[in-house]
Each structure stands twice: as C-alpha cells, then as structure tokens.
Amino acid sequence: MMDSKKIIRFALAALLVFGLMGPALAAEFPTKTIKVYVGFSPGGGTDIIARTVASVAPEFLGQAMVIINKTGAAGTIAAREVSQAKPDGYTLLVAGGSETVSVGHYRELPYHPINAFSPVIRISRDRMILNFNANAPWKTLKEFIQDAKRNPGKYKYASSGHGGIYHSAMLAFCDRAGIKMKHVPYKGGAPGMAALMGGHVDIAIASPSEARALVEGGKIRSVTLTSLERTPLQPDVPTLKELGYDLYLENQKGFVAPAGTPKERIMFLHEAFKKAYEHKAFVKLCTRLKIERGYLGPEDFRKSLMGMYNQIGSVLKK
C-alpha cells in the first residue's frame, strides 16, 4: 500500500504531466467529440456497425464519438449533411451502401456520391445473397434461369426498396443472366424475407446475416451471392462468378469524411479506426452480430466504391 506522501507526490506528478500535455494536445487533432452521421434508424445494420465501432474506437481516438441518426431518403439526407459539413475531420458518415453506389443512378442527388467524400476506412462487407423459398421447384440457380428465360416477367423478386443497392444488384443479376423479372419493393429486408417465406415472391435478396437463421431452419434456400469469393457466414453458397456470371456488388460499410479533409487527419482517423477494427472486443462483437469484417484502406475503399458505382451505372444505362 502506498503511503499518503507517495500518493500526493504521484498526484502532483500526474497533474504536472497532464498540465503540460494539455496545450500540446490541443494543437493536434482531435480536440472535440467526433460526430458520426448514420443515414438509417437506430438498430439497423448500418447503425449497429457505427455503434460497435464507437464502443471501441474512442480509446484510440482520444475523443468520444457521438452517433447521429439522420434518417430518410435511403440515407441520402445524412450523406448530404456530411458532404456539406466543414471538412475538418470531426464529421464522418457511415457510407458505402445505397446512398453511395446506387441511389445516384436513379435520381439527381445534391452531392456527388463518390467525389464529395474522402474515404477513411472500410469496416465491413455485407454480401448480398439470393434466396429461394425452401419449397421452390428449382434445385439450382441454373434451372431457375432457364425457367425464367422461357417465362419472361413471370417471377417476382423482393428488394428492400426501389433504387437501393439490393434492387440494383437484382437488376444487374437479371441483366447478366438475360432474364426478366418483376420487382416488388418492400420497406427493408425483413418484410421481403417474410414475403419469400409466405410464397408471395420467388426470390428475395438479403444479407447473409438475415438469411442464415432461416436457411438453417429450413425455411429458405440460399442459391448464390453477388460476390467474387464465398462468404464465411454461408460457405457452401456458390458465388455468381463461380456460376459464370461476372458481377461483383457488395453492401460495404465504412467511414468517410467530407471531401477536402486534410490528409493527416484522414490518416489519423484511419489508424485509430484500424486499431479499433483489430481490437479483440470489436472482433468478438462482429462475430456475434454476424458482421463480416472487411478492412480496406482509404485508397482501396475509394477504388472499390468507384468500381461498384460504375458497375451499377453500366447496367442501368443499357
């Protein structure tokens, strides 16, 4: 046990150290809370990613993170807000999904979905997986495609909304496979899955984390995913590439800052988030939440976003 003198000396030393460090730190970045905008409601997939990162990252940032849910218009309200924010690194957006790569192709947006932002880090890659009802007559995707070719417009698919990334993925799939299907938009992924189980649509596209429990429970069958390699969440589902269709679309999630944010600050944030990303607690949470971690650095993240943006654009322009 320390005696009281030691305690006082220690406290004085600590005070001195912090007193000296205070001003030095203030000149650096970050000196205040970092705001993270989320374009979707609390509890959704995007929000969960922001909150799990925020539960670990402040340790490495040296500042708190506050999550601001600015919902509406498929995440574009939050994206516009961040695109217009001061590029000082204190305002970030969780981006990479519909608002970044998809919605801009369907309508005019008040910001450029890619160029208005400066990517910081990619945290997760949520795949998009195509599912049949468990009792569907087709054993494989091939059988379905043949059937659909004979009956253009007969079969229906559910998506989480018009112009979203899932809708784009289905359009791209139909384009590559040379088939025609009807689109039935639902509000979010879950109602679409319910419609698939109830037999009201023939295909529903969802993320593996949504689909897995139902696949294991024998309610639905996952047939393929729009990716280049298989997902560890459902390793026995073949990718479209394996089946001979060239399509690579993923619902990525990561942090972006407004364009024009100083490079050092981006790199600082990147380092801090990367440490959080590798932290044991974060890895454990991701495993439990069925989030597929998928790190990419600032440049790779931008390239990846750009690639997907252009890919969707090329499908829609046909």
Residue with tokens 């050092």: 264
By CB under 8 A, tell whether 74 contacts other proteins.
yes
Supply the minimum distance, in Å, between the C-beta of residue 49 and other proteins. Answer: 11
Q: Does 48 bind other proteins (CB under 8 A)?
A: yes
Do residues 141 and 179 make contact, with C-beta atoms less than 8 angstroms apart? no
Between helix 263-278 and helix 45-56 the angle, nearest 10°, is 90
Determine how many CB atoms are found less than 10 A away from the CB of residue 131: 29
Dist CA 133 CA 124 (whole Å): 27
User: Contact between 274 and other proteins (CB under 8 A)?
Assistant: no
Nearer to other proteins, 147 or 242 (CB): 147
Place of tokens 């600015």: 70
Strands 220-225 and 117-126: unpaired
Report the nearest approach of other proteins to the CB of residue 270 (Å).
23
Residue 191 found at the interface with other proteins (CB under 8 A):
yes
- Judged by CB under 8 A, the chain residues 157 through 176 that form the site for other proteins are 161-163, 171, 174-175
Does the protein bind other proteins through residue 307 (CB under 8 A)?
no
Selected range binding other proteins among 8-16, 193-201, 239-247, 292-300, rule: CB under 8 A: 193-201
**91-130 binders of other proteins (CB under 8 A):** 105-107, 110
Question: Min. distance of Cβ 269 from other proteins in angstroms?
Answer: 19
How far apart are the C-alpha atoms of 52 and 289, rounded to whole Å?
10
Number of residues that bind other proteins (CB under 8 A): 66
Give dist(CA 160, CA 158) in Å, integer. Answer: 7
Is 43 a binding residue for other proteins by CB under 8 A? The answer is yes
Instruction: Indicate the residue among 157 and 273 with the shorter CB distance to other proteins.
Output: 157
What span, in angstroms and rounded, lies between the C-alpha atoms of 189 and 193? 6
Distance from the Cα of residue 203 to its chain's centroid = 22
Here the tokens at position 278 are 């590798």
Whole-angstrom CA distances from 154 to 14, 106, 118, 140 are 73, 24, 43, 18
Is 70 a binder of other proteins (CB under 8 A)? yes
* 5 lines the binding site for other proteins (CB under 8 A): no
The residues binding other proteins (CB under 8 A) are: 32, 35, 41-44, 47-48, 51, 54-55, 66-74, 76-77, 80, 105-107, 110, 153, 156, 161-163, 171, 174-175, 180-187, 190-191, 193-195, 197-200, 210, 213-214, 216-219, 285, 288-290, 316-318
